[in-house]
Amino acid sequence: MGQIDLINISKSYDKQKSVLNEINLSIEEGEFFVLVGPSGSGKSTLLRMIAGLEDITAGKLKINDKVVNHIPPKNRNLSMVFQNYALYPHLSVEQNILFGLNAKKVNKKEQQKRLTETAEMMGLSELLKRKPRELSGGQRQRVALARSVVSEAPLCLMDEPLSNLDAKLRAQMRIEIRRLQKRLGLTMVYVTHDQVEAMTMGDRIMVLNDGKIQQVGKPITLYNEPANLFVASFIGTPKMNLGKAVLNEKESQLLIEGVLNIQVNPTLDDIPRNNNVTIGIRAEHLYPGTDLNTTHHLEVVNVEHLGNETSIAFDIGSELWTAKWPGQWDITAGDVVPVHINIENLCFFDSNSGKLIKSARAGKKQEVVLI
């Protein structure tokens, strides 16, 4: 059993369509667990049910092996960061941060110690006497984060806490939150729609869509072995390149989107023959071709120069595929460039069910020998 156990948890409003449908999940003590999914998938509702802010329609919610379905939020020994700040407008930043500690009657010396450490970490030391109306959106978000951090509750729930920060501060706060979680040994449940946050912060990720669990696992597992087409298209930036394909056993060829032929080999014994499947390939596995390994020549439809890498888009039938090539390439739209596509870099999915049939062999984690 984990620190948080969700057993057949469901949620519906007025007996209409379920917002969440039979969620079964265990979150371990000290784990950074990320709930990710598109808007309306039910991730914030699930977080609020753990916090006690939403009633549970069916199922059991356990915290530390104790059923808490009807226990009020104040007795669940947790903290929460809301997406909309939820700050008291008439209190200063300092008073907002310390509000929970005052309610718990923590002694003043301990309050000041925690306040100093937290304010410094969050970059709020110069703002403690200001009121929320005198702060920017990003500063208010940091105050809300600080109020949660200063409580040092063993369970911390965060609902898209970085959504109002600029890109530079967001990257910095990702590191700070992760470091803090490890240092304090917190169990953290973190909701986001940003899969970059999910990939970079989570010990494990749960992908939700339409109130149902799509996949739970380590970030790199979801990236390399997506359970279905939804996870494949949701996890990764840019998303996995997808295309309808037919494997012609007689000609030993895979025809993708009716325009792209790839020679197959005996390793595809488990792929249905002469039947529609969907293939996927990551952008970093569409390699630039050389004199020795070019398999195709593709016309460029768009180029994005990012400095450290170049993002190149190609039309593949009805699909737009993206390649990521390291470094800077002198390529413009309309050019025809050589590329190398290896059959071992393809994921295969059932086009009807969307489920993964075979994962790509490329992209597995490399072993590093420490000296």
Q: Is residue 57 located within the same domain as residue 203?
A: yes
**The pLDDT of residue 239 is above 70:** yes
Q: How does pLDDT run across 261-281, given as a tens digit for each residue? A: 988 876 566 777 757 799 999
Q: Is residue 250 located within the same domain as residue 183?
A: no
Out of 229, 250, 280, pick the residue that ends a domain: 229
Which run of H or of E encompasses 80? strand 78-81
Residue 44 covered by a domain:
yes
Tell me whether strands 204-209 and 32-36 are parallel, antiparallel or unpaired.
parallel
Residue 124 covered by a domain:
yes
Please tell me the pTM assigned to this model: 0.87
79: exposed, middle or buried (Cβ count in 10 Å: 0-12, 13-18, 19+): buried
CA 296: distance to chain centroid?
33
* Residue ranges making up the domain that contains 35: 4-229
Out of 180, 210, 229, pick the residue that ends a domain: 229
Q: Is residue 154 located within the same domain as residue 214?
A: yes
- Mean pLDDT, residues 95-120 taken together: 91
Residue 371 covered by a domain:
no
**The pLDDT of residue 152 is above 60:** yes
Q: What is the CATH number of the domain that holds 186?
A: 3.40.50.300
Angle at Cα 231 formed by Cα 200 and Cα 56, nearest 5°?
Answer: 85
Q: Are 166 and 90 in contact (CB under 8 A)?
A: no
Which run of H or of E encompasses 205? strand 204-209
Strand pairing partners for 303? 312
Q: Is residue 66 located within the same domain as residue 122?
A: yes
Residue 272 covered by a domain:
yes
Predicted local confidence at residue 46, as pLDDT: 95
CB atoms within 10 A of CB 138: 15
CA 183 – CA 138 distance, rounded (Å): 24
Q: Is residue 245 located within the same domain as residue 179?
A: no
Nearest partner of 198 among 172, 225, 224, 222, judged by Cα: 222
Residue 368 covered by a domain:
no
- Mean pLDDT, residues 338-364 taken together: 87
Supply φ then ψ for residue 290, to 5 degrees: -120, 180
Q: How far is CA 35 from CA 4, 14, 215, 261, 265, in A?
A: 14, 25, 11, 38, 39
Residues 6+ apart with CB under 8 A from 338: 288, 289, 290, 294, 296, 297
DSSP 3-state of 247: strand
Q: What is the CATH number of the domain that holds 250?
A: 2.40.50.140
The number of distinct structural domains making up the chain is: 2
Residue 364 covered by a domain:
no
Q: Is residue 104 located within the same domain as residue 246?
A: no
CA 138 – CA 165 distance, rounded (Å): 5
Out of 199, 229, 259, pick the residue that ends a domain: 229
Q: Is residue 217 located within the same domain as residue 253?
A: no
Q: Is residue 186 located within the same domain as residue 46?
A: yes
- DSSP, res 42: S
Q: Are 344 and 362 in contact (CB under 8 A)?
A: yes
Q: Are 224 and 346 in contact (CB under 8 A)?
A: no
Residue 190 covered by a domain:
yes
Q: Is residue 8 located within the same domain as residue 150?
A: yes
**The pLDDT of residue 173 is above 70:** yes
Q: Is residue 55 located within the same domain as residue 147?
A: yes
- pLDDT cut 70: percent of the chain above it: 94
CA 330 – CA 260 distance, rounded (Å): 25
Q: Is residue 60 located within the same domain as residue 141?
A: yes
Q: Is residue 216 located within the same domain as residue 336?
A: no
- Mean pLDDT, residues 68-88 taken together: 89
Q: How does pLDDT run across 38-66, given as a tens digit for each residue? A: 988 999 999 999 999 999 999 999 999 99
Task: Give 371 or 283, the one with higher predicted confidence.
Answer: 283
Residue 210 covered by a domain:
yes
